[in-house]
Amino acid sequence: MSTSTPSPGPVVRADHDGDRRWFFGGGVHTWKVRAVESNGAFLLFEDQMAGGKMTPLHTHPDSDETMYMLEGEIRMHLDGQEHRVAAGGVVVAPRGVPHAFMVVSDTARMLCLHTPGCCEAFYWDASEPTTADTAAPGVVDFDRVRASAQHNGGIDLIGPPPFPTLMPSDPSRDVA
C-alpha cells in the first residue's frame, strides 16, 4: 500500500493579497502562491520594480523560471542573447540557462513562476517584510542576496549584470 502526501487546499488571493517582501536585489515581491501551498510544484510571486533594477547573471539549477510581464519593459539577457520584453510578453529561462534582466521602463511589474518551487528559501531569506506599495522602499544589498544563495541554494550567481549602467530615461537604452 502506498502513502501519498495530502494535497494542499485551494488558494485564492486578490490583487494585493499575499505576503509583501522587500527583495534585497531590488523590488517588492507579493507572494501569490508559496511552494507549500502547491505541494512544492511551483512558487508564484509578483515582482514590482523601479527602473534601472538589474539582476546579476545567474542560473537556477533545479527550477525553470517563467516571467510574465504585467507592466513596463525589461531587457532580458538569456543564454547569451538579448531580448526586449514588454507588458503581455513572457520569458522562460529553463533550469541551468544563464540569464539576467534590467528594467528599462520607469517601473515594471511581472509575475515570476518557478517550477518546481524549490527556490523559495533563497527568495525568502534574501528579503524582509514590507508594507510599502512602491518598488523602491528598501536598500539593495547584494551581500544579503549572495549569503542567501550560498545558504539556501536555488540559484547560482555566475557574474555581474551583463548590461551597461543606464538610467531608465536614457535614450540609448533602446539599443537592441
More confident residue, 3 or 67: 67
pLDDT, mean of residues 68-73: 98
Listed by start position, the domains of the chain span 27-158
pLDDT reported for residue 144: 94
pLDDT reported for residue 16: 86
79-88, 105-114, 129-138, 150-159, range with the lowest pLDDT? 129-138
Torsion sign across C-alpha atoms 94, 157, 155, 56:
negative
Looking at domain 27-158, which CATH architecture does it have? Sandwich (2.60)
- DSSP H/E element including 143: helix 142-152
Residue 134: pLDDT band by 50, 70, 90 thresholds?
Answer: low
Q: Are 132 and 22 in contact (CB under 8 A)?
A: yes
pLDDT reported for residue 139: 86
**Does the structure show a pLDDT above 70 at 100?**
yes
* 16-45 per-position pLDDT tens digit: 899 999 999 999 999 999 999 999 999 999
pLDDT reported for residue 3: 59
